[in-house]
Structure 1
Amino acid sequence: MANKFLSFGEGIEFVLKAISIDSEQRQIYHEDAQIIENEFINAISKHDKTFRKAFKGLALTGSTLDKIKIELPDEFTMLTKTELPCIVEPVVFEKHPSFVALCLSGPDVPENLVELHNGEKFLSRLKLHNWYCENIKDVIPELDNIQCGKNAYKLEYTGHGYAVAHTLVATCIGNSKRQIYFDFVPAFEFDASAWHNGMKKARNNNNGSWFAVPRKFTKPGAADDPLSFMVCAPYWERMVLQDKQNLKDSLRLMKAMRNANGMDRLISYMIKSIFMNRVNTDDEMYNWNKSPGNILISVTKSMQKCLTRGFLPFYLVPDYNVFDTLCESEQDNYKRMFGRLRRRLQKCHKKDCLSPKDMEFLFGRSY
């Protein structure tokens, strides 16, 4: 292979194979993860009877759900479905699209989680955070030897939910390089009918449910509000990517480019948003039978345009800017980087050649 440069298509396939997850390895990680999740939830349920009553199951989300994870199947984002013993009604924040407050009513409102606002009871994001945080800290010491077949893991609490998730890392005892990461996100589930008109009409939801998860306002300069929860609908979004394997492959390629070029703050959801918005706006023009390399060139241009504008629409609520968490200098830097990446991709496509230097520059891979 060293004596012959790869064609553009061959080079793309080489990268896709390099970043693919082996099916047997995927199964082993998933089996271990499920055991660890069950042990974790069981420990908290035994410790706190209120949590035991409120817990209504885990729902996988993120790259693992969409099957667009690359390299290792070692990250699991779990919506931790929580149901309070009262009526919970989402109320939209007018100045913050994609955020809701959760109004509580009825005879069994959990007063320890309440924040009063204009005489009404709302769920406090901060009190919810403290409840989860204290429970996890209390049970972590007993989760130091979770047996998963031939492997045993020690669970550590590394991210205390200050952003969205409570992050835990399971490290294999005897092989510290083998780790599994978990993001447990408290989530409140609602029917599609509860989607508020103020958030615009979500597309193709197939009457599936959506969730509200605790999160601070992300708009720069916005004052913190202890009542803020962000909307998400992983299963609505999953339908957008469904049956479009070439799209998923090109999305994975863009994640590989991101990793190779040190764009750590360009989170996976930003990349996913570029693709979902393209599907929604010009599906007829966007032939999903195109090769992943051709799709990648087109969507790289879309990313560069959005970074130039400083605005990337949230698929569920288009008025919300997914780039809100990036500062201006980061956007400018990534805009320049995507410009260079796009030009190199176009040059390689035109020459029908991906040299080792091209491969290293674009994807951090060599042959």
Structure 2
Amino acid sequence: MLNFEEAIIRIDNDISIQDRETYSKDFDAIRNYLMDIMKATDPVFKKIYAGPSLFGSYLDNIKIDKPDEFDVHFLLKLPFYEDIQIKKDKNRPGFVKLLLSKPLKQMKSDPNLHFVYEQFEQFVTPSKFLMRSEIQHWLERIITKALKTYGNSVPNAAGTDEYDLVYLKRGTAHTIEATSTNGREISIDFVPAFRFNATYDWFAERPFPKNIKEKLWFAVPKPTVGPKGGRKLTFSICVPQTEKHLITGKYNLKPTLRLLKSIRDRMNEGYFMKSYFIKSIYLLENDEQDDDFWMQSPGKLLLHTLDKLLFFLDSKCIPFYWCPSMNLLASLDEIRVIILKESFQKVRNKLVQFSQKPGVDYNKMRRLFGIATKPLKQEYVQN
């Protein structure tokens, strides 16, 4: 019979991702194919494309189960990007606006860059602020045309199978759903981002960490709540590489983060609680604690973080780490927040009951993490 902490550790092992290398290589093949045909389709995209950059659960090594979902920024770098004037959006903490007056003027006078000017002149307001929706529509047209022109199939990395690609536009992301002949499925969210350096331009409320050498941040075209006027100009501050650094090497932080995500995934209404909301709680808590705090047992840390989550849900606010005056829950109505709180409270109560017993029913505990349908590993069956 397992005790509570032993069961928690084995559950974390159960939900840890498998077959990482195969999925990663196939992801690389699909990503490279899409970017190559987009560059072949549109000369402006070819000129400003500055490479891929992972973000989300896979980058942070907190992905659970199969590594079949990837989030990747495709970075965009305009000529004379250092002359882009970045303006803080006063009505929307955590968001900025991009003023292209100077870069456009310089591109217009350069014969080798006039084609970029002609394209981006269509994407700005009369006052030369970049419109996020125009960028997104342009990219959507490029992807659609590229797949139609060059085909929607690509060999897997090993050359033994082939993926069929289906393109879907979902909010901020350009999603590719890839299905191989043998039935393997991979979903990739491609999100455009303009890259900047925090040494020169930083518009978040929290200072950029001094110990981070590569001070990169991205401006991501993202819709938001707030006054209607100016909403079409919103770009979200995004700092994935630095966030990865902040939560790495913190002992049992990542295991408990994975466990909390697994709890979220088994809830019918869990999709309202985005992974970034959960990660934000850990970023905020990590800021308050020293490294020794994360050396506590995974079960104890999980209960602690669940209490933090319930506190934020009760207050109907999860602060954005970089701009705490921004409420990540603002996009959810009050009823959804209440439902989430009730669901997480029930799980918390059950976990407390398990923690107070000398031995636990491992199968029952697994159900709380949404893995009841998976077969037990033989070593667990014997126990």
Which of 178, 183, 200 is equivalent to 1:170? 178
Question: Are the structure 2 counterparts of residues 35 and 314 from structure 1 closer, same or farther at C-alpha, using a change threshold of 3 Å?
Answer: same
Cα pair 1:204 1:236 within 8 Å, conserved: no
Deviation at residue 131 of structure 1 after TM alignment:
1.0
Name 1:291's counterpart in structure 2: 297
Which of 121, 127, 143 is equivalent to 2:128? 121
1:228 and 2:222 are equivalent in the alignment: no
Structure 1 unmatched ranges of 5 or more = none
1:256 and 2:255 are equivalent in the alignment: no
Name 2:153's counterpart in structure 1: 145
Deviation at residue 355 of structure 1 after TM alignment:
1.9
Percent identity (aligned): 31
Distance 1:343 1:222 in 2: 42
Distance 2:356 2:297 in 1: 15
1:37 and 2:31 are equivalent in the alignment: yes
Distance 1:282 1:83 in 2: 37
Secondary structure class of the residue paired with 2:231: coil
1:157 and 2:187 are equivalent in the alignment: no
Deviation at residue 64 of structure 1 after TM alignment:
0.3
Q: How does 1:279-358 map to 2 (within 5 A)?
A: 279-283=286-290, 287-356=293-362, 358=364
Which of 62, 87, 94 is equivalent to 1:68? 62
Deviation at residue 360 of structure 1 after TM alignment:
4.6
Name 1:97's counterpart in structure 2: 93
1:270 and 2:264 are equivalent in the alignment: no
Distance 1:261 1:197 in 2: 36
Residue type of the partner of 2:293? N
Distance 1:45 1:16 in 2: 41
Residue type of the partner of 1:20? S
Distance 1:194 1:338 in 2: 42
The superposition leaves residues 136-190 of structure 1 with CA deviations (integer Å, 9 ceiling, x where unpaired) of 00012333331122221111102x25x21111111102x23x1111111111011
Residue type of the partner of 1:41? M
What TM-score, normalized by structure 2, do the two folds share?
A: 0.87
Secondary structure class of the residue paired with 2:64: coil
1:247 and 2:242 are equivalent in the alignment: no
Name 1:58's counterpart in structure 2: 52
Distance 1:248 1:143 in 2: 40
Cα pair 2:88 2:203 within 8 Å, conserved: no
Distance 1:123 1:256 in 2: 38
Name 1:132's counterpart in structure 2: 139
Which of 185, 188, 197 is equivalent to 1:179? 185
What TM-score, normalized by structure 1, do the two folds share?
A: 0.91
Question: Are the structure 2 counterparts of residues 6 and 222 from structure 1 closer, same or farther at C-alpha, using a change threshold of 3 Å?
Answer: farther
1:199 and 2:205 are equivalent in the alignment: yes
Deviation at residue 357 of structure 1 after TM alignment:
6.2
Distance 1:40 1:354 in 2: 49
The superposition leaves residues 321-343 of structure 1 with CA deviations (integer Å, 9 ceiling, x where unpaired) of 11122221111011111222222
Cα pair 2:318 2:329 within 8 Å, conserved: yes
Secondary structure class of the residue paired with 1:269: helix
Question: Are the structure 2 counterparts of residues 297 and 198 from structure 1 closer, same or farther at C-alpha, using a change threshold of 3 Å?
Answer: closer
Residue type of the partner of 1:93? D
Name 2:380's counterpart in structure 1: none
Deviation at residue 352 of structure 1 after TM alignment:
3.9
The superposition leaves residues 3-39 of structure 1 with CA deviations (integer Å, 9 ceiling, x where unpaired) of xx421022112211211122xx100110111011111
RMSD over equivalenced CA pairs, Å: 2.0
Distance 1:70 1:11 in 2: 17
Distance 2:180 2:195 in 1: 33
Secondary structure class of the residue paired with 1:171: strand
Residue type of the partner of 1:55? Y
Distance 1:364 1:200 in 2: 36
Name 2:11's counterpart in structure 1: 15
Secondary structure class of the residue paired with 1:288: helix
Deviation at residue 235 of structure 1 after TM alignment:
0.9
Name 1:85's counterpart in structure 2: 79
Structure 2 unmatched ranges of 5 or more = 109-116, 377-383
Kindly tell me the number of residue pairs found equivalent between the two proteins. 354
Instruction: Point out the more displaced range, 128-137 or 339-348.
Output: 339-348
Distance 2:257 2:186 in 1: 23
